[in-house]
Amino acid sequence: MTVEIRVPVLGESVTEATVGQWFKKVGDAVVKDEPIVELETDKVTLEVNATESGRLEEIVVAEGEDVEVGALLGQLLAGGAGNTSAPAEAPPEEPAAVAAPATPAPAATPPAAAPSSAAPALPAAQKLIDENGLNPASITGTGKDGRITKGDVLEAMENGGSSPAAAPTAPAASAPAPASVSAAPSGPRSEEAREERVKMTRLRKSIANRLKDAQNTAAMLTTYNEVDMGAMLDLRAEYKELFLKKHGVKLGFMSFFTKACIAGLKELPAVNAEIDGDDLIYKNYYNMGIAVGTPTGLVVPVLRDADQLSFAEVEKGIGELGKKARDGKLSMADLQGGTFTITNGGVYGSLMSSPILNPPQAGVLGMHKIQERPMAVNGEIEIRPMMYLALTYDHRIIDGKEAVTFLVRVKEALEDPQRLLLDL
């Protein structure tokens, strides 16, 4: 029986995707629920799994091509016997058995050693490994049966824990190789070496379009302030161990900033509003978008009803969303429905910047690096841990007085964290 592989429903307002990678070739065996093809939308990357076991009979849409929801991607022959990885490795073993028929034991040894020399990786993880020249043996797999997941590869890349796969094989190269390497710098570089043309991913195109639309549509203006982080740092230092012991999560800055923003949004509802045609929609719920940088681009997963969450629940929720973003496991629902966004350029060392709105939201708060600076305190100069804050807002909805007041309220709450606990 032939089973069609079609583009699934991708989510609200998402009508098309790009075929990122086929994990199987025509004729390959497929197991039910195994990923067959990866699709890139303008928000997330998702895998299409096999609905039946069998053999991949046909690939209709090639990698890099755009498809609409419901489009036919390929066909699967259910129950059909396909090519597997085991037969592919059999030929190298057979000559060894012929050359040494009296010693069958050594011939059986290489297959047993092969898995240990190269840890098994899921298709999406293997793609990242190949693209970045990583050594899978240096990556610890956390998936089922120790398989390497996409998240394992991304974590290894962030920690610098992976070594280039080519490094161990370089000494084994033939003698002419070093000569060609040494000769390369002496001649002029080719045009191919000077430039590299790479097709934009759908996510990158989406980011570019949304940011440009925000500039073209909203009347964006940014107001700045600075906050003394001393009280918050002292509070965290005093309670971080007890907080971690009780809740199983670290007490970070994001829970304080989230709670401070919610307090400001409740007082100044225009900052939590949006424009819909000729109407203003004031939202009495607080879904906080938390910008997260990933190897494929910036995404903004949403922490829903954050006003109803405790500090620990906020920290856990943000941690889970961040991990899903880095692992490429965010769903469409994780990215929809935000009413206000917080972005932290400080993690990259930014001292000050002007964030761009995330439409249709009317406000975005930019956090930055904590920098010790000399400040005048009660007529004396003190060295204080200071952070610049930036609020970019849609001036069509929010007046300057409302924007400045909101940022002052955030500043007051952060400089006196007890206000958040007392709802002041």
Within a domain: residue 276?
Answer: yes
pLDDT of residue 93: 45
Q: Which residues of 330-367 are buried (b: 16+ CB within 10 A; e: fewer)?
A: bebebbbebbbbbbbbbeeebebbebbbbebbbbbbbb
422 pLDDT band (50/70/90 cuts)?
low
Options 66, 399, 416, 423, the catalytic residue: 399
**Averaged over 244-262, what is the pLDDT?**
93
Within a domain: residue 83?
Answer: no
Closest CA to 56 of 20, 18, 22, 19: 22
Within a domain: residue 232?
Answer: yes
Cβ atoms 382, 375 nearer than 8 A: yes
Q: Do residues 341 and 216 both lie within one domain?
A: yes
- Tell me how far apart the 2 most distant CA atoms of the chain are, in Å: 92
pLDDT of residue 98: 38
Within a domain: residue 321?
Answer: yes
What CA–CA distance (Å, rounded) separates 168 from 164? 8
Q: Do residues 220 and 148 both lie within one domain?
A: no
Query: Would you say residue 170 has pLDDT above 50?
Result: no
168 pLDDT band (50/70/90 cuts)?
very low
pLDDT of residue 335: 84
Q: Do residues 159 and 208 both lie within one domain?
A: no
pLDDT of residue 126: 76
- 258: CATH: 3.30.559.10
**Averaged over 222-226, what is the pLDDT?**
96
pLDDT of residue 42: 64
Q: Do residues 69 and 207 both lie within one domain?
A: no
Within a domain: residue 100?
Answer: no
**Averaged over 177-184, what is the pLDDT?**
45
Query: Would you say residue 219 has pLDDT above 80?
Result: yes
Q: Among the listed ranges 13-17, 243-247, 330-334, which one has the minimum average pLDDT value?
A: 13-17
pLDDT of residue 102: 42
Within a domain: residue 86?
Answer: no
pLDDT in tens, 367-419: 999 999 999 999 999 999 999 999 999 999 999 999 999 999 999 999 998 87
pLDDT of residue 165: 43
What CA–CA distance (Å, rounded) separates 411 from 424? 13
Number of domains in the chain: 3
For residue 215, which phi and psi values (nearest 5 degrees)? -65, -35
Q: Do residues 143 and 272 both lie within one domain?
A: no
Domain that holds residue 291: 203-422
pLDDT of residue 394: 94
Q: Do residues 27 and 160 both lie within one domain?
A: no
Q: Do residues 384 and 235 both lie within one domain?
A: yes
Q: Do residues 124 and 226 both lie within one domain?
A: no
- Computed over every residue of the chain, the mean pLDDT equals 79
160 pLDDT band (50/70/90 cuts)?
low
pLDDT in tens, 272-330: 999 998 999 999 999 999 998 877 777 889 999 999 999 999 999 999 998 888 887 88
pLDDT of residue 158: 67
Q: Do residues 138 and 30 both lie within one domain?
A: no
Q: How crowded is residue 41: how many other Cβ atoms within 10 Å of its Cβ? A: 22
Which residue is associated with the tokens 């405790």? Answer: 310
**Boundary residue ending a domain (78, 108, 137):** 78
**Averaged over 246-274, what is the pLDDT?**
94
pLDDT of residue 220: 92
Within a domain: residue 377?
Answer: yes
* pTM of the predicted structure, to 2 decimals: 0.61
pLDDT in tens, 99-152: 434 444 444 444 443 343 445 676 667 777 877 778 888 888 776 567 687 677
Options 334, 395, 416, 423, the catalytic residue: 395
394 in catalytic set:
no
**Angle (nearest 5°) at CA 125 between 78 and 157:** 175
For residue 349, which phi and psi values (nearest 5 degrees)? 100, 5
How many C-alpha atoms does 108 have within 13 Å on its Cβ side? 4
**Averaged over 193-207, what is the pLDDT?**
75
How close are the terminal C-alpha atoms of the chain, in Å?
Answer: 66
- 153: CATH: 4.10.320.10
Better pLDDT: 259 or 420: 259
- 56: CATH: 2.40.50.100
What CA–CA distance (Å, rounded) separates 359 from 264? 20
279 in catalytic set:
no
pLDDT in tens, 67-114: 887 888 888 888 765 555 444 444 444 444 434 344 444 444 444 433
**Boundary residue ending a domain (143, 165, 187):** 165
Q: Do residues 153 and 294 both lie within one domain?
A: no
Within a domain: residue 172?
Answer: no
Q: Do residues 401 and 286 both lie within one domain?
A: yes
Q: Do residues 235 and 335 both lie within one domain?
A: yes
pLDDT of residue 67: 81
pLDDT in tens, 10-57: 665 566 778 878 888 888 888 888 888 888 776 677 788 888 888 888
